[in-house]
Structure formats: structure tokens, C-alpha cells
Amino acid sequence: MPNTLVIHAHPRPGQSVVTQTLLEALTPLKHTAVRSLYALYPDFDIDVAAEQEALSRADLIVWLAPVHWYSVPALMKHWFDQVLTHGWAYGHGANALHGKTAWWVASAGGAEATYAPGGAHMRPFADYVAPIEHTARFCGMHWLPPFVVHGGHSCTTKQVDDARTALVQRLHHHLANMPARPAPEAQP
């Protein structure tokens, strides 16, 4: 059974509805570890060795966070900067993350229709995915289509429940179809 690592970042978890619901759906699942960055590192002083150790044990890495300014919250971006280091995550001979799978699970305040030409956000949400996607790909990871819950400010209870159910179904689908990791000697 593949191991899942959820990297969760919400600066105000007590005020979160969507991200918190998705977190609570993932936390009890078997072979799943959760690291809530704002709880672990309120001062942004990330334990890089501990994060890399957690990553090394994972097959599927879930980045779970609300969308903040078309990206991830500041501490998750800081986590990318600190943890995905040269010589470990990327660079000549660095292959710690090669063959693992990355999945961005996001809550966006904007409704789906606002992510379109003429809408408040002007572009499809997919246009804002590229920096996160290529962070994963640059580290040799497989990339899954993001799971995005739109309209996070105004979701009904039913919409949040449906999102939770859909997320768990998607997760099981992904786990059942995980690509095999290449043998270390076969990695570039």
C-alpha cells in the first residue's frame, strides 16, 4: 500500500471550513501522515531534516491549502524554498523525490465561473497551476490534476460534504493507479 503524506497549510485553521473538512477526511486514512505546517512552525523555522525524512517515506505527497494570491499560503511557499533543496530534491545526482507523485488539493475563494476571460480572475484556474506543477516536475515527481474546491467562501454544507466525498474517492483512485517508482540505478 502506498504511503500518503499530507502537507497542510492554513494560517487560520480555526476559521477554515473547506480545507479543514478536507484535512479531517484525509487524517484518519490508513498509511497517511499529516504535517500541519502552521502548527509545527508558527515562527516559520522549518525543521528541514524532519520534513525531508517525512517526504522520503511517502509515495504520494498531497499539498493541501487554500489558494492565496493565486498560489499557496506563505508558509507552504517557504516550505518549498527550505525543504526542496539543491543536492537533495534537484541538481546533479539528486533524486530523493524522483518517481513520487504530487497532488495539489486547494480551496479557492473564487467561484469557477470567475476563473475565465471576463471574470474577476480573468484566466482559467489551470493557468495559475504552472508554478506549483513545475516545482514538482523539476524535482522528478509525477503530477496529478489538482483537486480544487471553488467558491470556498460560500460553499453550502452539502457542497463541502460532496467535496469531502469526491476527494476521498479521487485519493483512492490515485492510490490504486500509482506509477511504479523507477529503481534508483535507473533514475537520471
* Positions in the binding site for ligand FMN (CB under 6 A): 10, 16-20, 66-70, 107-110, 152-153
Q: How far is the CB of 117 from ligand FMN (least distance, A)?
A: 16
Closer residue to ligand FMN (CB): 18 or 132 = 18
How far is it, in rounded angstroms, from Cα 50 to Cα 83?
9
Q: How far is the CB of 160 from ligand FMN (least distance, A)?
A: 9
How far is it, in rounded angstroms, from Cα 174 to Cα 169?
9
User: Is 50:94 a contact under the CB 8 Å cutoff?
Assistant: no
How far is it, in rounded angstroms, from Cα 178 to Cα 139?
17
Query: Would you give the distance in Å from CA 83 to the centre of its chain?
Result: 14
Q: How far is the CB of 128 from ligand FMN (least distance, A)?
A: 8
Closer residue to ligand FMN (CB): 18 or 61 = 18
Closer residue to ligand FMN (CB): 102 or 160 = 160
How many residues belong to the chain?
Answer: 188
Q: How far is the CB of 183 from ligand FMN (least distance, A)?
A: 39
Looking at residue 8, its amino acid is H
Axis crossing angle, helix 18-26 with helix 157-176, rounded to the nearest 10:
40
Closer residue to ligand FMN (CB): 64 or 89 = 64
Closer residue to ligand FMN (CB): 157 or 177 = 157
Query: Taking CB positions, which residue lies at the least distance from ligand FMN?
Result: 109
Distances (CA, A) of 133 to 16, 103, 125, 146, 171: 24, 9, 13, 9, 18
Q: How far is the CB of 158 from ligand FMN (least distance, A)?
A: 15
